[in-house]
Amino acid sequence: MDLVSGLIFYIILIVVVAFSILNTFLMSVFERKREFGVLMAIGTTPRRLTKLLLIESTTMTMVGIIIGMIAGSLITWYFQAHGIVISSASELMRQWGLPERMYPQLSLLSVSIGPGIVMVITFLTALYPALRVRRLRPVEAMTSV
C-alpha cells in the first residue's frame, strides 16, 4: 500500500513538473517569436530552428540535472554520515522500535532514475513548442509584439 501510494504521488509530481516545463518552453517560444521570424527571414530553416530549440532545452536540462545531482548527493552523503535526528518524535519512534536517528542511503539507482525521468520528460515537453516554431511565417512573426 505504501509503495503504491508513493508511486501515485510520484506520478502526480511528474505530471506537475511536465506541465511546468511545457509552460516555460512555450513562454520562451512566444516571447522570442520576433527573433525566430528574423532568423527565418534571413534563411534559417524551420528544421534548424527546431533543432536549435531542442539543443537549448537539452543543454539547460543537463546543466540543471548535473548541479542538482551534485547538490543532492552532497546533502544525502552528509546525512548518511551524520543521520537525521527526529528528537520531537523520539517517544513515538521508540514505541515502534525505530531509532531516533534515520540514515538515508545514497545509491546509483536513486541518483540516476529521477534525473533520467526528468530528462525524458523535458525533451518530450520541449518538443511541442519546438514544433510550433515550424508553423511560423517570417513576416507575421517579425510584426508580432
- The pTM of the whole model exceeds 0.95: no
pLDDT tens per residue across span 25-55: 889 888 888 888 888 889 989 899 999 999 9
Lowest mean pLDDT among 23-32, 94-103, 108-117, 118-127: 94-103
Q: Hey, what amino acid is at 52?
A: L
Q: At what angle do helices 46-82 and 33-41 cross, to 10 degrees?
A: 140
pLDDT tens per residue across span 53-107: 999 999 999 999 999 999 999 999 999 999 888 777 777 777 888 787 888 888 8
pLDDT at residue number 145? 65
Q: What is the sign of the dihedral through the CA atoms of 35, 36, 39 and 42?
A: negative
For the chain, domain boundaries: 2-143
